[in-house]
């Protein structure tokens, strides 16, 4: 994986997903959020789920704020207890967000996630 040139792109998608440019650079973030240089923004559609619709993000660079743009409705959220993904990743203790699209996003609980409508 190439060394990121933007300090806002340290989130890695497991397992071995693509390196994603921040949504602000791709023009899919509202203008007021694009101006916030500390906010990592991705679209749910850009993230690749495993066979069971699970997406796991890890944070090795100390990102504390993240925006997720999605057309899907949030059905449930919380802290995962005793769960291992189909790819063998233990997500126990991670925050989870389950969407009506069938996808569940797992990420470290210290990341504040803002859910925003994907209007593009």
- The residue ranges of every structural domain in the chain are 16-117
Query: Using CA atoms, how far apart are residues 24 and 84, in angstroms rounded to an integer?
Result: 32
pTM for this prediction: 0.70
| Confidence label for 44 from pLDDT (cuts 50, 70 and 90) | very high
Classified as helix, coil or strand, 11 is strand
| Confidence label for 88 from pLDDT (cuts 50, 70 and 90) | very high
pLDDT higher than threshold 70 for residue 55? yes
Residue 23 Cα distances to 20, 64, 68, 73, 106, angstroms: 8, 16, 9, 20, 19
| Confidence label for 37 from pLDDT (cuts 50, 70 and 90) | low
The angle at the Cα of 39, spanning 35 to 43, to the nearest 5 degrees, equals 100
| Confidence label for 39 from pLDDT (cuts 50, 70 and 90) | confident
Q: What is the pLDDT of residue 61?
A: 77
Query: Using CA atoms, how far apart are residues 95 and 106, in angstroms rounded to an integer?
Result: 6
Token pair belonging to 82: 């005793």
């Amino acid at each position: 994986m190439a060394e990121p040139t933007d300090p806002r792109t340290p989130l890695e998608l497991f397992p071995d997903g693509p390196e994603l440019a921040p949504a602000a650079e791709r023009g899919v973030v509202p203008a007021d959020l694009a101006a916030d240089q500390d906010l990592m923004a991705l679209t749910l559609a850009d993230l690749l789920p495993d066979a069971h619709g699970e997406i796991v993000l890890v944070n090795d660079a100390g990102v504390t704020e993240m925006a997720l743009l999605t057309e899907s409705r949030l059905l449930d959220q919380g802290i995962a207890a005793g769960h291992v993904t189909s790819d063998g990743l233990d997500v126990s203790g991670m925050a989870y967000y389950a969407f009506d699209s069938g996808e569940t996003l797992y990420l470290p609980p210290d990341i504040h996630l803002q859910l925003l409508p994907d209007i593009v």
